[in-house]
A and B are shown apart, each in its own frame.
Chain A
């Protein structure tokens, strides 16, 4: 069995049935082996970046590792953004690249790049395979590593000669042993019972640990008011009575107020990211902090924890639930206060009953949320539409909301939606994107077409880079710089060129019909939604500012004038 066949055998052992890749010179032995293998479905994207992002979307939607494959040189460098995206959001991913033959490494051979060196900072771990007999053990270790503890991408760079060479597995050197987790929760319980105003702050770590059910049970049992990060959206479910929603830069006033006033912050599976906390020295000023996470390096990284519990979140949440079920928390006044804030300080209601009025982003997303089936997966891109989805779509599970949190990768949404559709063939998958983001991986319309994926695409088109324009308006004295996209192509014609039907809407009375039409269509369909260029995401905290200083909607003089005239 040669190196390439060992890779396919590892896929079979680990039940990897779908991989995303793009062939080329040094990875050709693996593609040759694929010809004789009918157990692995290879998805040919049209750009390596899309291969990595599709593998990422597959992993987020399924909870299983995504796999992407590319050749050396430009194939590998094109993967980098997608792998960095997975790294920042701790997504399990196996990355396999061909490399020039061993004897050519370091000679500036054709399509040679130092992949190992240039990717050190964006992987959980990486390997350059030096001998063929190392490959089977490396594959095993990589599969374990990418999923264990805090997940992350693992990259294996394999010289072409090793892919071709027959190999018998050799034992690997013993890896460093992980420290055993010791989830002692007693100190956490003491703080929780002392607190009068405890608040739960959860993030993407819940899903990474596959702990959604344990978390939901914990919240239901304790009745703790909760806020979530962007990646935590979907927990603890849309019917949770005490969920105040997303906190932070574009969070709700209720969520940020609760953080400001709580006396104990119970942080679970979150890393206190700057977009969530705002200026750290004013964040949760009255709160003691309990930090529960799988990754020890996140504890005390940005704010000291009075109590830290590291380990498997399922185990820890189970123990906490059991203890607090026996002795419930006496926090009814605090719950009532949070519910009042939630009623008065949620995201602004944006429904517009005027049929001929222009479509607004929040109103459109609310309508989409009402109409789309419960198991719909929304893959966002990055920008204003991403925040409107986070604010206004009612998610009931975090795996239904795919968003590029840490890296903020424009172009993520379409390939991620492709990956999610392969992971969930029967689910409705919608890529909600902006006109800027869509054009960053628009070539993947060809992939949708090739595999007859029933994906739905919604482009919220304001003919500019809306989030940048908004910040230029608010924080750069309205000096617009390089944000104009009013020469966008005709998106409807573009979709049709890929044999994907499309329609355009621009008035409020067309919204429901437009959404229902694409959802009912048996196949891929694109909805081009024209929205106003000047629309902003509210509220907003100035980057680097305090969450206490949220800015609500600012009425422009022109709008005031129109109102007075009317």
Chain B
């Protein structure tokens, strides 16, 4: 699936903590692309077995959808949407 992101599509900043293992970043980046977003900026810090990642992504789809897909990755411990607004993850009961 490919999704075009126009320059008018909103941008979001996401922080993500995940295990530092083979293909960790590839896995993360692939989910971002497949779910219709484009990475504008990316920062990575490593500490022991953990990766702390700050992503700025752009896309027209609801960013909560990307957030829930990233949270599904087995090695991802935490995903937080930090801008433009903090949106809670899909809850168990709406």
Interface residues in chain A, defined as those with a beta carbon under 8 Å from any beta carbon in chain B: 116-117, 120-121, 124-128, 130, 145, 173, 175-177, 181-184, 186-187, 295-297, 299-301, 305-311
Chain A residue nearest to B64 (CB atoms) is: A300
A311-B92 in contact given A117-B23, A125-B74 (Cβ < 8 Å)? yes
Question: By the criterion CB–CB under 8 Å, are B92 and A124 in contact?
Answer: no
Stretch at the interface among B5-13, B38-46, B52-60, B65-73: B65-73
Query: Which 10 residue pairs are nearest across A and B when measured between Cβ atoms?
Result: A297-B68, A176-B77, A125-B74, A182-B92, A184-B93, A128-B22, A173-B49, A310-B92, A296-B90, A308-B94
16 contacts between A and B (CB under 8 A): A120-B26, A121-B30, A121-B34, A124-B74, A125-B74, A126-B23, A128-B22, A173-B49, A176-B18, A182-B92, A186-B93, A296-B72, A296-B92, A297-B71, A310-B90, A311-B92
Report the minimal beta-carbon distance from A134 to chain B, rounded to whole angstroms.
10
Question: By the criterion CB–CB under 8 Å, are B71 and A309 in contact?
Answer: no
Residues of chain A with a CB closer than 8 A to B91's CB: 308
Chain A residue nearest to B49 (CB atoms) is: A173
Question: By the criterion CB–CB under 8 Å, are A175 and B94 in contact?
Answer: no
At the interface, yes or no: B19 with Cβ under 8 Å from chain A?
Answer: yes
At the interface, yes or no: B76 with Cβ under 8 Å from chain A?
Answer: yes
Contacting residues of chain B (67-90) with chain A, CB-CB under 8 angstroms: 68-69, 71-78, 89-90
A176 to B71, CA, bound (A): 10
Q: Apart from A296-B90, A300-B90, A311-B92, what are 17 other A-B pairs with CB-CB below 8 Å?
A: A116-B23, A117-B26, A121-B30, A121-B34, A125-B73, A173-B19, A176-B18, A176-B74, A176-B78, A182-B93, A296-B92, A297-B69, A297-B72, A300-B65, A301-B68, A306-B94, A309-B92
Chain B residue nearest to A186 (CB atoms) is: B93
Chain B residue nearest to A188 (CB atoms) is: B93
Question: By the criterion CB–CB under 8 Å, are A307 and B94 in contact?
Answer: yes
Residues of chain A with a CB closer than 8 A to B22's CB: 116, 127-128, 130
Question: By the criterion CB–CB under 8 Å, are A296 and B68 in contact?
Answer: yes
Residues of chain A with a CB closer than 8 A to B73's CB: 125
Residues of chain B with a CB closer than 8 A to A186's CB: 93
Residues of chain A with a CB closer than 8 A to B65's CB: 297, 300-301
A173 to B49, CA, bound (A): 8
Interface residues on B, range: 20 to 34
Chain A residue nearest to B66 (CB atoms) is: A297
A295 to B92, CA, bound (A): 10
Interface residues in chain B, defined as those with a beta carbon under 8 Å from any beta carbon in chain A: 18-19, 21-23, 26-27, 30, 34, 49, 62, 64-65, 68-69, 71-78, 89-94
Contact of A187 among B68, B72, B74, B93 (CB under 8 A): B93
Question: By the criterion CB–CB under 8 Å, are B68 and A176 in contact?
Answer: no
Report the minimal beta-carbon distance from B31 to chain A, rounded to whole angstroms.
9
Residues of chain A with a CB closer than 8 A to B23's CB: 116-117, 120, 126, 128
Report the minimal beta-carbon distance from B79 to chain A, rounded to whole angstroms.
10
Question: By the criterion CB–CB under 8 Å, are B71 and A296 in contact?
Answer: yes
Residues of chain A with a CB closer than 8 A to B68's CB: 296-297, 299, 301
Chain A residue nearest to B34 (CB atoms) is: A121
Residues of chain B with a CB closer than 8 A to A299's CB: 68, 90
A446 to B89, CA, bound (A): 51
Chain B residue nearest to A290 (CB atoms) is: B94
A512 to B68, CA, bound (A): 52
Residues of chain B with a CB closer than 8 A to A128's CB: 22-23
A547 to B92, CA, bound (A): 30
A300 to B71, CA, bound (A): 15
A175-B74 in contact given A120-B26, A121-B30, A130-B22 (Cβ < 8 Å)? yes
A308-B27 in contact given A125-B74, A295-B72, A296-B71 (Cβ < 8 Å)? no
Residues of chain A with a CB closer than 8 A to B18's CB: 176
A177 to B77, CA, bound (A): 7
A175 to B75, CA, bound (A): 6
Report the minimal beta-carbon distance from A296 to chain B, rounded to whole angstroms.
5
Chain B residue nearest to A300 (CB atoms) is: B90
Residues of chain A with a CB closer than 8 A to B19's CB: 173, 175-176
Report the minimal beta-carbon distance from A251 to chain B, rounded to whole angstroms.
24
Question: By the criterion CB–CB under 8 Å, are A308 and B93 in contact?
Answer: yes
Residues of chain A with a CB closer than 8 A to B64's CB: 300
A176 to B92, CA, bound (A): 19
Q: Which of B64, B71, B90 neighbours the largest number of chain A CB atoms within 10 Å of its CB?
A: B90
A184 to B69, CA, bound (A): 23
A125 to B68, CA, bound (A): 16
Chain B residue nearest to A130 (CB atoms) is: B22
Report the minimal beta-carbon distance from B59 to chain A, rounded to whole angstroms.
14
A184 to B71, CA, bound (A): 21
Residues of chain B with a CB closer than 8 A to A308's CB: 90-94
Report the minimal beta-carbon distance from A121 to chain B, rounded to whole angstroms.
6
Chain B residue nearest to A116 (CB atoms) is: B23
Report the minimal beta-carbon distance from B1 to chain A, rounded to whole angstroms.
10
A181-B74 in contact given A116-B22, A121-B30 (Cβ < 8 Å)? no
Question: By the criterion CB–CB under 8 Å, are A309 and B93 in contact?
Answer: yes
Report the minimal beta-carbon distance from A92 to chain B, rounded to whole angstroms.
14
A117 to B30, CA, bound (A): 10
Question: By the criterion CB–CB under 8 Å, are A296 and B89 in contact?
Answer: yes
A518 to B64, CA, bound (A): 53
